[in-house]
Amino acid sequence: MPVAESSRAPARQALLVGLGAVLGVVAVLFLVLQADRLVGQADLDLDISDGIYRPGPVAELAEGIDTSGPLLLSDTSGGDRDLIVTHTGDDLETGWHAFAARQPAAPRDCFVVWSADERTLVDNCDGTVYPETGEGLPQYPVAVDGDGILSIDLNSAPRVAPAPSTDPNDDTTTGTGRGE
């Protein structure tokens, strides 16, 4: 005996299609809002036309550095001026350091890597160890403005801070670093 098609089947199909469409719209809206929130968190001032790079508010930067280690800022202009930003101490207004991610004239694939256990930076090519302030690597001037935004002066010719001494009796390079 043939089974008769229910008159409720098209209504049920329409309801399921409608419910699927509503769920799809909600999912897309959720993704758009999450993407907007994530982009808002990573909102950096990338305008360096004046040679001053402003990576962001010092409170957020310090929290990220405390959690994940120094901030690596890759030179996206095709150059080789990759920078490391660190923060030492508890005062958000001081203790900021910006320095080259590699020794002068080193190839781009030679750079310093953060050693969290030792709180030092280690050159991945020759093993040279640097303190978290980057002493011994070319340094860039940093400042914190009145709004709590960190600025790095890329126009300034980087100066090379003295390398840390390997002599345990020499304490001439154990200062607190620029900005403290």
Q: How confident is the model at residue 43 (pLDDT cuts 50, 70, 90)?
A: very low
Mean pLDDT of the chain: 77
Residue 32 vs residues 37, 39, 93, 175: alpha-carbon distances, Å: 9, 10, 36, 48
Pairing of strands 138-140, 52-57: unpaired
How many CB atoms are closer than 10 A to CB 110? 15
Does the structure show a pLDDT above 70 at 149? Answer: yes
Token code pair at residue 40: 């808002």
Residue from 19, 180, 13 nearest 97 by CA: 180
Does the structure show a pLDDT above 60 at 175? Answer: no
Q: How confident is the model at residue 156 (pLDDT cuts 50, 70, 90)?
A: confident
The answer to whether 61 and 53 are in contact (CB under 8 A) is: no
User: How remote is the C-alpha of 20 from its chain's centroid?
Assistant: 40
pTM of the model: 0.62
Kindly state the average pLDDT of the residues 16-21. Answer: 70
Q: How far apart are CA 131 and CA 163, in angstroms?
A: 9
The answer to whether 90 and 58 are in contact (CB under 8 A) is: no
Kindly state the average pLDDT of the residues 141-156. Answer: 93
Q: How far apart are CA 124 and CA 30, in angstroms?
A: 42
